[in-house]
A and B are shown apart, each in its own frame.
Chain A
Amino acid sequence: MAPSPIVAIGASHASVQLATSLRQAGYSGDIVIVGAEPHLPYNRPPLSKTLLTQQISFDKTLLRQQSFYGKHNIQLKLGARVKSISRECSQVTLDSGETISYSKLVIATGADPIVLNLPGEQLEGIGYLRNYDDTQSLMPYIKEGKSAVVVGGGYIGLETAAALCKAGMVVTVLEGMERVLQRVTSPEISAFYTKAHVTRGVNIVTNAQAIEFVGRHRVEAVKCSNGESYPADMVVIGVGVRPNTALATDAGLNVDNGINIDEFGRTNDPDIFAIGDCTNFPCHFTNTRIRLESVPNAVEQAKSAAAYICGKELPYQALPWFWSDQYDLKLQIAGINTGFDDIVILGNMEDEQVSAWYFAGDRLLAVDAINSTKDFIKAKQLLSEGQSISKQALKQQ
């Protein structure tokens, strides 16, 4: 009997990279990727950017063409949801009742948007952005001159606001905290993005929590904690995500804000790995356990897990990095700024070409680079090599 396949749960960046790395390493056994969505694995970052407003076609977001999977003997089971994992039998059970045995199991279930469950949330024209079908259901409401309210001023919310603004909508962003991007960046960069949006016609309201959606069948307005009501022909909610860990928890794997893994992607079961947004891992740079929502993170973890499965140790030590596209503003982030106590700003806010260098004491932690790719690349190199740069040297540039 042929050995059981390597099974990956979740059909996105992490699993596709896993399959790619397994084949590159010479693994010739069967690979099965189970995905809940009916679509071929695609790139999710464009969901809140060009895909939402149909500036690119869905085909352009596919991670690989269909022929790739057949050519490299990677079996896709799409439109299929894993219901449970049986570690005793080394198998997963699908919603349909079908079971698949595994030699190794890789959980790549990602994260789902936090659902607000506010009164009126079932009204037409209100949506979240987790998958391609979400963009399809919002599409009919994207109309020039109509009003859109974006709930949440994080990266997803701001990218969505930019996309809808470019599509000619009158956009309001409601952010519950004091400033946009509060959880992830400095007051300086928050102020930069606030201004960038306001200049382009987006209304940004902070300290404003949505409390109710009003309308008959379709949404007409969003009521807010500040007593105001904002007209809305459509609403997009982006208030963060939660890792999809239910399968892992039910199977008795260790879970704490993500599925606990080590630098090789291993869970506490030697036959089960986890990769991508659903994981909590020891970060080589912060020396803490963290969870990231990031494609590069998913890709690097997939490489480490695939290597380990093929008998090679390739610990995940790559520098975390991120990007966000809003209007003509290209933000690239190297490193993680958690715990910074000082910041050096280079460039010019007015010209929208700025980089923010975050320090803890004399140690460089991270850089936010806006339309400043060269600063990003430089920072990425310094941080990857464990080097810093003196604030003095930076300021003299």
Chain B
Amino acid sequence: MIKIRIIDPDGNEYETQTDVGGNLMTVATDNLIPGIDAECGGACSCATCHVYINDPKQLQLLGEKSDVEHMLLDYLDTKRENSRLACQVNLTDKQDGLVVHVAPQT
């Protein structure tokens, strides 16, 4: 089990626990986190699971973004350097303690 802290757009904090092997989107939906709609179910099609990873080290540990993820993020007004789509973030032991901010909805 790893611990992940998720902060929604209104600033509410959620301490979550999850098994490794899943992705960040399902952790958010399983915990009723507002702002993560996950409409396409993780097919990297909708950009409704947009999050920020503020800690540069944690961001780096998540690895590279795919071309499709890059493209989806590029056209969001709310995109920042530390943006990710939660459905594309796979969770391993390295993500224990990850802090995630949910992006505001556009």
Contact = CB atoms under 8 A, between A and B. Distances in A.
B32 A299 contact: no
A378 B41 contact: no
A67 B47 CA distance: 26
Contacts of A43: 41
B72 A373 contact: yes
Given A20-B32, A68-B30, A63 B72 contact: no
A367 to B, nearest CB: 13
Contacts of B26: 64-65
A186 interface: no
Contacts of A24: 32, 34
B27 to A, nearest CB: 10
Contact of A63 (B37, B41, B71, B106): B41
Contacts of B71: 373-374, 377
A344 to B, nearest CB: 19
Contact of A325 (B30, B43, B75, B106): B43
Interface in A369-397: 373-374, 377-378, 381
Interface in B15-32: 26, 29-30, 32
B41 A295 contact: yes
- Residue with the highest number of chain A CB atoms closer than 10 Å, among B43, B45, B47, B68: B45
Contacts of B41: 13, 43, 45-46, 61, 63, 295
Given A43-B41, A63-B41, A295-B39, A374 B75 contact: yes
Classify the interface of chain A: helix, strand, loop or mixed: helix
Given A296-B39, A323-B40, A377-B76, A20 B29 contact: yes
B98 interface: no
Contacts, number: 57
Contact of B37 (A71, A299, A377): A299
Contacts of A20: 29, 32
A5 to B, nearest CB: 18
B44 to A, nearest CB: 8
A53 to B, nearest CB: 16
Nearest to B45: A323
A130 interface: no
A378 B77 CA distance: 11
A336 to B, nearest CB: 17
A316 to B, nearest CB: 14
- Residue with the highest number of chain B CB atoms closer than 10 Å, among A45, A61, A377: A377
Interface of B: 26, 29-30, 32, 34, 37, 39-41, 43, 45-47, 68, 71-72, 74-76, 106
Leading 3 A-B pairs by shortest Cβ distance: A377-B75, A373-B71, A43-B41
12 contacts: A20-B29, A46-B41, A64-B30, A71-B30, A296-B39, A321-B46, A323-B40, A325-B43, A332-B45, A373-B71, A373-B75, A377-B72
